Amino acid sequence: MKSVRLSLRGNDLLVTPEKVGEGEADCGSDEQELRHRLLQAVPADELLYDRRLSAYRTLPQAYRAVSETLDRGAYRVEVAFEAAPALPFAVRLRQQPRAYQAEALAKWSAAGRRGVVVLPTGAGKTLVAMMAIAETATSTLVLVPTLDLLDQWRRTLLEVLEAPPEHVATFGGGRRDLAPLTVMTYDSATIHTQALNQFGLLVFDEVHHLPAPSYRRAAEGAVAPYRLGLSATPQRGDGKEADLAELVGPLVYERTPGQLRAHLAKFREQRIQVALSGDEAAAYERARATYRDFVRRRRLRIMSPEDFQRKVIWPSANDPEAREAMLAHRDARRLSFNAEGKMKMLVELLGRHVEDRVIIFSDYNTVVDQVSRELLVPSITHRTPAGERAAVLDGFRAGRFTKLVTGRVLNEGVDVPDANVAIVLSGSATRREYVQRLGRVLRPKESAAVLYELVSEETDEQHVTRRRHAE
C-alpha cells in the first residue's frame, strides 16, 4: 500500500508521496496515479505540483476531501496535524432544543457534519450551533461579521454550553486571544489564516457574507472537517451563494417565518400605499423621463443591479449623458423612497402604537436624522459611536424609550432588543433585507408583531416591493 503524508506549510495543504520520481519532466507512474486521485477531490486549478518539495500543494479546505479520496484509493494517509482536536471539558447543553432545531442538526449530521442551516431571525439559529458543538465535542471557531457579535456569542457559549471562561476567547477589535472555543470576526480570519487550523468545527454566522472575495479565505484556509453555516437569508445579489456548497457544504435545512409561526411571535405584514405630492410627482416624472430616454437611445437592457452598474454607473465617469441618466435615476429613487407623505403616515402609525416597542427603518441616513430630529426618536446609523450605540440599545432594552429609528446598520450582526412593531420607510429590492427586518419583531412574545411597509404609489418602488416579495 502506498503512503501519503498530509501536512501544512504556510497557507497550503501539502500532499507528499512516500516515493517520488527523479526526473524533472517525468514524475513517474506513482505520481501520475496520485495526481489522478487528487483531481477527484480538488479542482485542477487548485492543485499545484511543487518540484522543490516533491509534493502537491492545495487549499487547506480540501483536507477532508483529499484524505477521504486517498483512503478510498488504497493509500495509507498519515496526517501531520490534528484536524479535530477534542474539547478539554465536557459540554453540557443547558437549553432544550425545539423539534425543528433538532431536525436541523440531524440533517446537518447526516450530510457529514457539513452544510448550511437557514432559519428566520429569532428562531434560534445560535442554539443549533451550540448543539453542533456539543455533538462534535471538538475545538470550534465561530466566525461573525461584526464586532458587536463577538461578546454576544461569547456570552452564549458560556451560558448555554457552560464552557469554562478560560476556554472561551474572542479574536478581533484589538483582541487576539485563542482558546478551544473562539469567536473571531471574518476580517481577522482573512488576515490570520494560520490561526484557523487548530479548530475542527467552523461555525459561520450570517454565512451569506462568506462568498465575498476576501472573506472566503476564512473557509479556504482552514482544514476543519466540520462546518456549519447559519443565515436567515443566504441569497446574495451576485449569485455567489452557490459557492457555499464548496466552502461550507450543501443547504441541509431551511424554514421560513411562515413555516415556524407556532414558534415565533404571531405577526402580520401590512403594505401601505402613500401618494406623492403634486410637486414630487412632477419632479419624479421628469427624472424618470430623463433616465428612460437615455436607456431607449442607447438601446440598453437593464435587468439587474449589476446591469445598471456596468451600463450606467461605470460609463458615467466619462460620459456626460450617462452621468445625467445616473443622477436622474438617483433623484427618482430618492423622491419615491422619501416621499413627504411617508413622514405623515409614520406619525399616524406611531400614534396607533404609543405603548409598543417600534423600530423604524430607512435606507437613507438623512431620513433617519430627520425622523430623530423632528420626532425626538433615538437613532442609530453607521456613524453612531460604539458607546452611544450601546447606550441607545440598552435604553431601548430597559424600556426607557420605546421608539428607535435606524438605517441598515441594525439589519443584522447586532443583538437588537425585542420590538413588536417594525416600520419600513424604504428598503432595497433584496428579499434578504426584508426578512432581516421582519426578524427584528419575530422573537417569541405574548403580543402580536406587525411590520408596516410604506410604498409610494405609481413609482418604481412598487416594482421593487413586488420583486422582493416574489423572491
Per-residue pLDDT of the chain (471 residues; tens, 9 = 90+): 789 999 999 889 999 998 644 444 444 577 788 899 999 999 999 999 999 999 999 999 999 999 999 988 789 999 999 999 999 999 889 889 999 999 999 999 999 999 999 998 778 899 999 999 999 999 999 999 988 888 889 999 999 998 999 999 999 988 999 999 999 999 999 998 888 999 999 999 999 999 998 999 999 999 999 999 999 888 877 788 899 999 999 999 998 877 876 666 577 788 899 999 999 999 999 999 999 999 999 999 988 777 899 999 999 999 999 999 999 999 998 898 888 999 999 999 999 999 888 989 888 889 999 999 999 999 988 888 878 888 988 898 888 999 999 887 776 556 666 788 888 887 654 555 666 666 665 555 556 778 888 989 888 877 666 655 544
Question: Strand 379-380 and strand 48-50: pairing?
Answer: unpaired
Please give the Cα distance from 108 to 114 (Å, whole number).
Answer: 6
Nearest 10 degrees: Cα torsion 382, 386, 387, 391: 60
Provide CB contacts within 8 A for 259, sequence distance 6+. Answer: none
CA distances, 331 to each of 168, 241, 413 (Å): 50, 31, 30
Model confidence, pTM: 0.76
CATH number among 2.40.128.30, 3.40.640.10, 3.40.50.300, 3.40.50.150, domain 99-260: 3.40.50.300
- Is domain 267-275+339-470 classified as CATH 3.40.50.300? yes
Contact 216, 207 (CB under 8 A): no
Do the domains spanning 99-260 and 267-275+339-470 agree at the CATH topology level?
Answer: yes
Please give the Cα distance from 11 to 22 (Å, whole number).
Answer: 27
User: Domain ranges in the chain?
Assistant: 2-79, 99-260, 267-275+339-470, 278-336
Grid look-up 405630492 returns 277
Please state which CATH class domain 2-79 belongs to. alpha beta
